[in-house]
A and B are shown apart, each in its own frame.
Chain A
């Protein structure tokens, strides 16, 4: 009796220890592969992004959260993703303020400006070690992203380089006689001829329009006039190209366009919404939008409004030919990791997951049943699809489109990405130190003021020399000295 009992106990104990050991080995293996949380105890990660508001979009965002959590659970990572609602106000202004005051403290934050002071104060996490250990993010990082990360490792943005690509309605472009000449030889004069034709034929009230500033048009004409980078060498000295002779020539050209009614005379007061409205309603013919997503939006809305698609136009040819030079000193927007976060690994894991094959599907295709349906092993995009946009990474990299029925991205958008790659130019720029930043800020304001006045004809082009003098006095000379020490 006793002997059998002891035997049973021994067997039981052995069984338990074997199972236990196996279990430990499993968890050891799991820890090695970076498991996060557990099924019953997921790690809570908070997320804040612009225009992603759980108050107004509760249903869809709730579904997104669940889909992400389930997808990550399959990989052994248990998170509880909580999408937060941004404070009221202009995102770029109010989020950094709220973050600094400690009123908001998300683990993952999207920034679209004013993040540099925060990084300098040590409030944002250096992402380099995370990128080193990463698999998915590293795989879909573009070259410009890698370069930006080296310079400023606080913001991560997996998207095509932000280049403004000019587009026009394909039906109007086909009608233009000067259109063909333009495609063959896109000189500044041919562009001018095309705009003139648009105006004189009465096709549109304003051939070109833009939203408040000349950045979009600069993407078309900068290189042609010799503004090949943000910082160039003039007379052996490194200066900002804004204050060079090339800039003067370009502004004179824009002033001519404005005076002859080829450039929208109300462009200064237009916002991106009213600019788009003019474009879709046909009062403007030529706009520029960011390659990829934005051109895609323009295309879809133009299809809805006018039933036509868009055609992508090349940058003007002159001294050189390229769209705006791609600045890699720092990303202008992107996701940051809160330096005070207690769950940095979990937060990064979410970014990793969204960069992986499953995450790419979620990010770009949207929610099953709403933006696509599964039919016969294929993802069929629904009519609702155009209303979805990626809440994490806008890039198309890493997305397997082989079994997607429907256009994830319209032809024009793909053309715009190809054009951006074809006419790519790298920029020369530096990150300024803390005490030079306010000077540059004042100089930029000065440039905006003078350039707007010269273009609108409020000041004659001869005032450009006055501008250069003031520019140098406001810090141009001092920063040039600094540039000489940093750039070789």
Chain B
């Protein structure tokens, strides 16, 4: 009975399903089919002919290879730097923006700081590789203050910080919008009450503004954790070179190198499978957590 009624309803809604069809076809073709292709992780790829089944061979290769441990370590460290260390600065930026009294100046800062987010990493890499070179602007400033010029892009001790700082350069403005919006949403009556009580600026910030930011902070932080294994492929891909590769090679660049460049399809798919599964668990867990604590999650 229920099914009959439901079927009737579906027939009535058929135009809507027609509207959904292109999108759903897309997902079937370009998500479901690739997921089915992931079985390649258990087979040995052959350009012609059938793929012989090899079970867990590639997973054994992965877990016994010290290279993989290094790459996993890189991924986690770089993600940590970008999503944990950098995190407070987005809040601080929003706070600073809010403290500016001049409307025009604040607008100027906003317009300028939102722009880098829209530049491709190819462009950003082009700009910064040049600026960080031995004759570039950064070294010009360093030597002006009496320091010694450093070739940042080939320096393994500094490259991860470079990645973090360039990420900051790109996202400081745009990614702090969510916090700034939260600040703007604070009810003016709270400020009035604080003024009557004679609160100082610092007290206003700590007692009114920060509490309002707690929800978006938790949401953002937890959501970033969900995507911890990604670490920013586009940036690493464009900033990497032979000298520093071993310190910044992440899971995704490794998959690209051995999979697409090296043609080791099975091995690359096995790594993708591990990453994908861990990713799902991470994102789902963090989403549930975030929803529980703040009411909003990934979806």
A interface, CB within 8 angstroms of B:
93, 96-97, 100, 114, 117-118, 121-123, 212, 266, 268-269, 435, 438-439, 442, 445-446, 448-449, 452-453, 458, 470, 473-474
Contact = CB atoms under 8 A, between A and B. Distances in A.
A268 B151 contact: yes
Contacts of B267: 438
Provide the main secondary structure of the chain A interface.
Answer: helix
Contacts of B134: 266, 269
Contacts of B261: 93, 96-97, 114
23 contacts: A96-B261, A96-B263, A114-B263, A117-B264, A118-B263, A122-B48, A212-B242, A268-B243, A269-B133, A269-B134, A269-B153, A269-B154, A435-B61, A438-B65, A438-B264, A439-B65, A442-B65, A445-B246, A449-B156, A452-B243, A453-B156, A470-B66, A474-B67
Contacts of B154: 268-269
A474 B66 contact: yes
Interface in B31-67: 46-48, 61, 65-67
A449 B151 CA distance: 16
A446 to B, nearest CB: 8
A78 B227 CA distance: 60
A169 B122 CA distance: 40
B133 to A, nearest CB: 8
Interface residues of B, number: 24
Nearest to B267: A438
Contacts of B151: 266, 268-269
Interface string B258-292: 10111110010000000000000000000000000
Provide the main secondary structure of the chain B interface.
Answer: loop
A122 B245 contact: no
Nearest to A212: B242
A458 B244 CA distance: 13
Given A123-B47, A268-B151, A117 B263 contact: yes
A458 B247 CA distance: 15
Contacts of A122: 47-48
Given A268-B154, A473-B66, 12 more contacts: A96-B261, A97-B261, A117-B263, A266-B151, A269-B134, A269-B151, A435-B61, A438-B258, A445-B245, A446-B246, A453-B156, A470-B66
A117 B262 contact: yes
Interface string B145-189: 000000101101000000000000000000000000000000000
A473 B66 CA distance: 8
A104 to B, nearest CB: 15
Nearest to A120: B263
Nearest to A435: B61
A470 B133 CA distance: 31
A121 B264 CA distance: 11
A297 to B, nearest CB: 24
Nearest to A101: B260
Contact of A442 (B66, B153, B262): B66
Contact of A449 (B65, B246, B263): B246
A449 B156 CA distance: 9
A439 B258 CA distance: 12
Interface string B53-85: 000000001000111000000000000000000
Nearest to B249: A445
A419 B47 CA distance: 45
